[in-house]
Structure 1
Amino acid sequence: MNGHKLTQLLKIDYPFIQGGMARVATGLFAAQVSNAGALGVIGSGSMEPQHLEAHIADCKAHLEEGRTWAVNLMMMNPHCDDLVDIIIRERVPVVTTGAGSPSAYVERLQAAGCQVWPVIASPLMAKRMARLGVDGLIVEGCEAGGHVGSFTTLALLPQVLATVDLPVVAAGGIATGAQALAVFAMGAVGIQLGTLLLAAEECPIHDNYRARVLQAKIEDVVTIGRIAGTATQLLKNPMSRAYVKMERSGADWEALERYSLGGLAKAVIEGDQDAGAMMVGQSVGLVQEVKPLAAIFADLMRDTDQAMRRLTDEWEAEGPWKSTDTD
């Protein structure tokens, strides 16, 4: 299976990368993910430099020897220059990037021994990243939680793979072994997980947020912000419904930003089910129980293996499409 390549590239046990979820992906959580065998990622989001330094220190304090970890860097953060300086100084092994092109930083990061894996949502962006010489790509479909693009994982992934000669990780809507097998079959070397990890025992979200995740079905997911060009996927609640009404009534971007400001913190920290932005992907209806991270990763690998064996058995069985011609 292709996943073996990612485990070698990143020196991890499982071919899984934790999504750099802002407010959720703390230094401690990243360490716990890495200790469980996947790639733990600190989500720097809109952090100021001193906050990233604190999260890196916390990650290192809890990280087992020899484990690989990462930082997610958002290009729209006004402190990017300072954050990159910190990443280089702290010898972060891997950086994932989002919300823009990392072109200003790729050469410096790689010279410092850091692998660079941008999150992209189109074949065009994949080509641009390949020209920069990045180490790999995380291809995220619109089934993901939080900020999303326009194309589904199933349609996007093979088109990116046909466009660039880079290792590619699939992201967006993946929570089961059968889904994992599908993207591995297409050529992905690994999977980025977000929504599934919201149900981890170690995940530092408010109990109210976790409860909504466990109860939610796919019909409870809504995408807001498409009109303003900031499409974001989350659970339906009074906040999201009011936001959609504002959009449809012609509210400008500034008004929408003011209304939604602090919504993620209200969800993650305060557990506000009415005013919080409870970001989830479309796989949320498949997330039904709380487990330790180690169990989540082991179970997903086992289920992927079982799905492959089941498919192989069914495919090898005699079927009407099989030729009986022995010539």
Structure 2
Amino acid sequence: METALTRLVGVRHPVVQTGMGWVAGPRLVSATANAGALGILASATMTLDHLRDAVREVRSRTDQPFGVNLRADAADAGDRVRIIVDEGVRVASFALAPSRELIAELKEAGVVVVPSVGARRHAEKVADWGADAVIVQGGEGGGHTGEVATSVLLPQVVDAVDIPVVAAGGFHDGRGLVAALAYGAAGIAMGTRFLLTSDSTVPDAVKARYLAATVRDVTVTTAVDGMPHRMLRTDLVDALERAGRTRTFARAVRRAAGFRRLSGLTWSRMIRDGLAMKHGRDLTWSQVLLAANTPMLLRLSMVDGRTDLGVMASGQVAGVIDDLPSCEELIARVMRESRETLDRLAGPGVSIPH
């Protein structure tokens, strides 16, 4: 299925695997790429050396295009951009709107720039700055999210910009792909659906928690880092929502110390990153610390399997997913379902070329 997205990044299918921290590592990214979709390596939880090694590992596993996701507000964003350029990565995606200067540096090196946004005005801004495409996540999506549903936000953005738009938030099958194309998108991006594959390195016990969840078990809370965060509701989430300010601050300091040891970041660097998240938001100092080390809470679940101590970011689609296919099986299924849906929409006696 050829769309503006497949032509832009050189993949066979208009499907993107999002850059989920601690989840989107070399194994998942390369499996996605080999299946014909666009895999995005999550770099925010990596040191610079780890990022370079991870990119090279993906390259050793696939000759297909892939991308790297990074935080535009990170103090070392420029260093990460240089690694992307030096290593010949095809796509750079951003969790927040990158600066005009970062976009220009990447484009000059021939890297395709695809920021993720949650509002029309943000899409308009990055398009004006030269972004090649944009991923638009509606409120159904996992992790940090907004309030506007994909079905409302997506057509707004499609009408507002002249670059390819990739739809995220609430997608898990071929019917969703066709729906996104009908809205004017050039493809779909999925996170939770790729997390729940056999190629994902997330521990089996954690995957089981996702598979057991209903749509009512996926909630949005600001208790973790002061920003709306969609995740599975757990005892930890309940405890964070009930905890007083002093207790929350002590917990934040302990977890920040753990993330500092793991990441190699200095305290000053972590505080700068936290303050970057605080900018324009009414966050307490406890939330600033939590924002700086939220990756630690994710790691406890996604790597260590400690669902009692960590958080599990999740899209609402977790409540309708009940299996763990390989990436190859998943992509083949999505594309088969999309073609069947198109044929059904065409009506009896009408054939749509594939």
Give the one of 302, 307, 310 matched to 1:273: 307
Aligned to 2:177: 180
Please list the CA deviations of residues 82-113 of structure 1 after superposition, one character each: whole Å capped at 9, or x if unmatched.
11111111111111111243323011101111
Q: Cα RMSD between the aligned structures?
A: 2.2
Please list the CA deviations of residues 156-199 of structure 1 after superposition, one character each: whole Å capped at 9, or x if unmatched.
01001111111110001111222221111011011111111112
| Count of aligned pairs between the two proteins | 312
Letter of the aligned partner of 1:124 in structure 2? R
1:215-226 residue pairs with structure 2 within 5 A?
215-225=212-222
Match of 2:343, SS state, is helix
Please list the CA deviations of residues 246-265 of structure 1 after superposition, one character each: whole Å capped at 9, or x if unmatched.
38999663324656742101
CA distance in 1: counterparts of 2:288 and 2:105, whole angstroms: 33
Match of 2:311, SS state, is coil
Aligned to 1:306: 340
Task: Tell me which protein shows more helix as a share of its residues.
Answer: 2
**Which TM-score applies when normalising by structure 2?**
0.83
Contact 2:31–2:328 under 8 Å retained in 1: no
Match status 1:255 vs 2:286: yes
Distance 1:226 1:77, change over 3 A: same
Contact 1:243–1:256 under 8 Å retained in 2: no
Match status 1:124 vs 2:121: yes
Distance 1:274 1:227, change over 3 A: closer
C-alpha displacement at 1:212, in angstroms?
Answer: 1.0
Contact 1:174–1:180 under 8 Å retained in 2: yes
Match of 2:22, SS state, is coil
Match status 1:291 vs 2:325: yes
Contact 1:41–1:71 under 8 Å retained in 2: yes
Aligned to 1:8: 7
C-alpha displacement at 1:313, in angstroms?
Answer: 2.3
Aligned to 2:279: none
Match of 2:135, SS state, is strand
Match of 2:3, SS state, is helix
CA distance in 1: counterparts of 2:129 and 2:87, whole angstroms: 23
**Which TM-score applies when normalising by structure 1?**
0.89
CA distance in 2: counterparts of 1:77 and 1:27, whole angstroms: 22
Structure 1's unaligned 5+ residue stretches are 317-327
CA distance in 2: counterparts of 1:227 and 1:293, whole angstroms: 31
Match status 1:152 vs 2:186: no
Aligned to 1:34: 33
Match of 1:162, SS state, is helix
Greater shift in the superposed pair: 49-58 or 93-102: 93-102
Distance 1:275 1:228, change over 3 A: closer
Contact 1:208–1:272 under 8 Å retained in 2: no
Contact 2:22–2:45 under 8 Å retained in 1: no
CA distance in 2: counterparts of 1:247 and 1:43, whole angstroms: 33
Please list the CA deviations of residues 123-170 of structure 1 after superposition, one character each: whole Å capped at 9, or x if unmatched.
111110111111111111111111112211100010011111111100
Give the one of 183, 196, 201 matched to 1:199: 196
CA distance in 2: counterparts of 1:247 and 1:72, whole angstroms: 34
Aligned to 1:325: none
Aligned to 1:322: none
